[in-house]
Structure 1
């Protein structure tokens, strides 16, 4: 089955107030002042300007909690859409964690990219939000091959060969040109380049990945150093991916250093030697934001491996899954029924329950896991950002959700999923997770209509 690829949208939402799931509204007051002309001096004095006091204003505890019966009645119509296929879900109160509605919530389902909420959460719980990944160049044993340098991958897939100042897909990406400049400043006479990919172990493709998705642009073979996450055309939305991202990075470095790129090889083992150059990725929180908003599969797999390395698990698909699962279990998130083979949700073999997804979001919204709170900011905004930028805008019945609903999307052939938060019309913040498998041709529209109902309904009786 082939996943649907998301495009970067040019939608801009103007005048939408985003209500974050911690139960807060950002109230912005604008204070306008200006000089007075001579003629204005003869006019009555202007009224005293209103005092500006921008602040986070919590929703009062008096906001009514939807009742299970009210939710059941409100959801009956959207749940009747046959395009939902097999639908499981759960809705809870963000403040108390009380489960308000559920349907098959403990049945393992194919989650698609909602799996990335687990990867993000494990990273937030394990790593510093300012953590960066380092890519190095070292001088190899000069007695064996004088002038040989090795590009050592540390797990950053965003390294770019774009010239300085030229945009690339990832903000603040490290540059090959910077590495080459540093090497030249050492005075090293470079004759050849190799690439050390030993930081990652195991296979480069996960079970359940379709190799055709490399050409389709959804994924690249996972290697510990990559050029533009494998994108052949780094700033093109529809770019395919490379089969050899690590060699591509080595060839780009060789070209920048004036040596034959065709002679670049993968190093036979871990490289050691004097460090000649080093560059760093953007901070973790910035990479998580790009991962969640663009639903970036390569970034998800790379960040999960960072979690694995930090927790002494194998730096591989299996090790990353073990690390993410163990970290969330230790945070008291119910991982029962989880069967994962990757950390992006691209595999058709992944299974998660709506309970797990809703609990992850619920812990971010609740008081017990403050390190998880940034997850709410990473969720795309309905009608406003990321993979939700062009959703919840049409039909008009769903437009009321724009700006009030935030969720991670998931989409594979026959699968649609949403996990996030929404503020209902009564002012209550709810968490939710819906997973639809074996969906019909308009399954994505059907699951959006289901989620939009939570915003428009007070559901209090």
Structure 2
């Protein structure tokens, strides 16, 4: 006979997915248990996530600890930090060094995602082309200068394809607009990446990040994030603004607009805008950033948050802006120390409890814009950086259930996200292992999450004592 528990769980997962897509995620009042630090109690009288029963049994801390003791004790994980809470009430179910700052790797992207979503969720990042006439010239006289001005959009693409999701800003559209404006030749094409300032690589970044293709040197003007072609793997261009400008000049020439010199510099005051393309809304970029663990988007969004807060658009400015923004949300940031906002720096520090509080801020109903943090999380065995995981017998219980941001550096493997347990309870978790990627650390972390996903974990029934002190079988 089919067990009722798996059937109920499938229904809960289906409802969870539907509610996330419909934007109806919310939580009810707390039950009086401990609340995750900084997350605050849920709003009184708020509707519960449709399909998840607020009366479903809450896992008991002792039972959760017992169930996860084996997976967390796997030597390959080298003694990971762990934090698990009930999403509805905020009750702490497992706390293993959860308030001790640790290297987060890319789980840190939940912080910049949160900051961007509360700052400008519907903003689009604009790349512009400005025109300056030649000395003594007027209007659109031949021989002038075109300025390609970056707006911090690393997803600007050289791809000729149109449509699709998300519909990215295209270099070809800029060229078409320039031609439609009546410009027939230019003496110079100059790339302007001046929106961002400071070093283009962060403290704690390894020398091989750019050559291995993990990230481009941070620039306000990038084409396909410094890749040699749309979607290409391998080394990124060490000067992405120069590469983008050269590609633009080449596309102009191919369209019949001759170009003289190609250079980098700041656009002249008074230059006239003749073309512009916009990125998808920031909320869509955030979703892409989380699903694909896009380092270039993370660093650009952090700098743009800094600009909104009147701070320099630099690594230091982005780190301060993100930290200040999440602190203002009531999220605990004690011990949080950042050298970037993508999590690539091996010297970043954040507490597991902070990561879970970021996730819970997206669950409770007071800030619906943050739900994109949840919809952007990769789905185990299905999407993004979890696409090729959870395929073994010991991790299969988490497939399609676990939604989590991954993180991997040479000195950390991490996982932070959400799942629905066997009783239909939404749980939030963060597991940070100080182990290198090699040696099966990803698989070991997946076993921890899968064990939690299979958890009903009620309090163990006490053994009743008979008249002579012998244990008796509990009545069912």
**Which TM-score bucket, shorter chain as reference?**
0.7 to 0.9
Determine if the alignment matches structure 1 residue 442 to structure 2 residue 440: yes
Q: Give the equivalent residue in structure 2 for 1:185.
A: 180
Matched, 1:207 2:213: no
**8 Å Cα contact 1:135-1:152 kept in structure 2:** yes
* 1:108 pairs with 2:101: yes
- Structure 1 equivalent of residue 34 of structure 2: none
* 1:50 alignment partner in structure 2: none
CA displacement at 1:403 relative to structure 2: 1.4
2:131 corresponding residue in structure 1: 139
Runs of 4+ off more than 6 Å: 24-27, 259-262
CA distance in 2, matches of 1:377, 1:69: 31
**1:275 and 2:270 matched:** no
Retained in 1: the 8 A contact 2:287–2:373?
A: no
Among residues 70, 77, 81, which one is paired with 2:70 in the alignment? 77
Which of 377, 396, 419 aligns to 1:422? It is: 419
Distance 1:122 1:26, change over 3 A: closer
C-alpha offsets along residues 211-236 of structure 1, whole Å, 9 cap, x if unaligned? Answer: 32212110111111101011113223
Q: Which moved more, 1:198-207 or 1:156-165?
A: 156-165
Secondary structure (helix, strand or coil) at the match of 1:381 reads coil
Shift of residue 346, structure 1, vs aligned partner: 0.7
Number of the residue aligned with 1:61 = 54
TM-score (norm 1): 0.84
Alignment pair present for 1:405 and 2:402: yes
CA gap 1:171/1:61 in 2 versus in 1, 3 angstroms: closer
Query: How many correspondences in the alignment?
Result: 413
The 8 Å contact of residues 113 and 409 in structure 1, kept in 2 or not, is answered as yes
Tell me how far 1:285 sits from its aligned partner.
2.1
- C-alpha distance in structure 2 between counterparts of 1:115 and 1:410, whole Å: 8
The 8 Å contact of residues 157 and 224 in structure 1, kept in 2 or not, is answered as yes
| Separation in structure 1 between the aligned mates of residue 273 and residue 187 of structure 2, nearest angstrom | 17
Give the 3 Å change call, closer, same or farther, for CA 20–120 of structure 1 in structure 2. farther
**Residue deviations 1:137-158 (CA, integer Å, cap 9, x gap):** 1113632894111111111111
Q: Quote the offset at 1:376 in angstroms.
A: 1.0
In structure 1, which of residues 81, 94, 108 is the aligned counterpart of residue 87 of structure 2?
Answer: 94
Structure 2 distance, partners of 1:147, 1:19, is 62
- Give the whole-Å Cα distance in 2 for the aligned partners of 1:271 and 1:133: 21
Q: TM-score, normalised by structure 2?
A: 0.82
Asked if 1:159 corresponds to 2:156, the answer is: yes
What's the Cα RMSD here?
2.4
| 2:373 aligned residue (375, 381, 388) | 375
Q: Which residue is equivalent to 1:249?
A: 244
Are residues 26 and 329 of structure 1, via their aligned partners in 2, closer, same or farther at CA, if it must alter by over 3 Å? Answer: closer
Once residues 390 and 157 of structure 2 are traced to their aligned partners in structure 1, the CA distance between those partners, rounded to angstroms, is: 35
Q: Structure 2 vs 1, CA of residues 306 and 125 (structure 1 numbering), >3 Å: closer, same or farther?
A: same
CA contact under 8 A between 2:397 and 2:451: conserved in structure 1? no
Q: 1:103 to 1:155 in 2, by over 3 A?
A: same
- 8 Å CA contact 1:233, 1:239 repeated in 2: no
Corresponding residue for 1:240?
235
Question: Are the counterparts in 2 of residues 382 and 402 from structure 1 also a CA contact under 8 Å?
Answer: yes
1:79, distance to aligned residue in structure 2 (A): 1.8
Distance 2:258 2:101 in 1: 51
The equivalent position to 1:305 in structure 2, one of 303, 306, 322, is 303
Per-residue CA distance 1:418-453 (angstroms, 9 max, x = gap): 111111101111111111113461211111111111
Q: 5+ unaligned residues in a row in structure 2: which ranges?
A: 1-8, 21-48, 138-142, 460-476
In structure 1, how many angstroms separate the alpha carbons of the residues matched to 2:180 and 2:97?
62
**How many angstroms does 1:123 deviate by?**
0.9
* Distance in 1 of aligned mates of 2:17 and 2:125: 34
- Deviation per CA, 1:6-62: give whole Å up to 9, x if none: xxxxxxxxxx969569967669xxxxxxxxxxxxxxxxxxxxxxxxxxxx8432222
Flag the 1:336–1:449 CA change in 2: closer, same or farther, 3 A. same
Tell whether the 8 Å contact from 2:76 to 2:440 is kept in structure 1 after alignment.
yes
Report how far residue 272 of structure 1 moved.
4.0
Residues 346-361 of structure 1 aligned to structure 2 (within 5 Å): 346-361=344-359
Deviations 1:122-149 (A, max 9, x none): 1111113x32111111113632894111
Q: C-alpha deviations, 1:358-407, integer Å up to 9, x for none?
A: 1101111123333212211111111111111111121x132111111111
SS at match of 1:459: coil
Distance in 1, Cα, partners of 2:163 & 2:55: 52
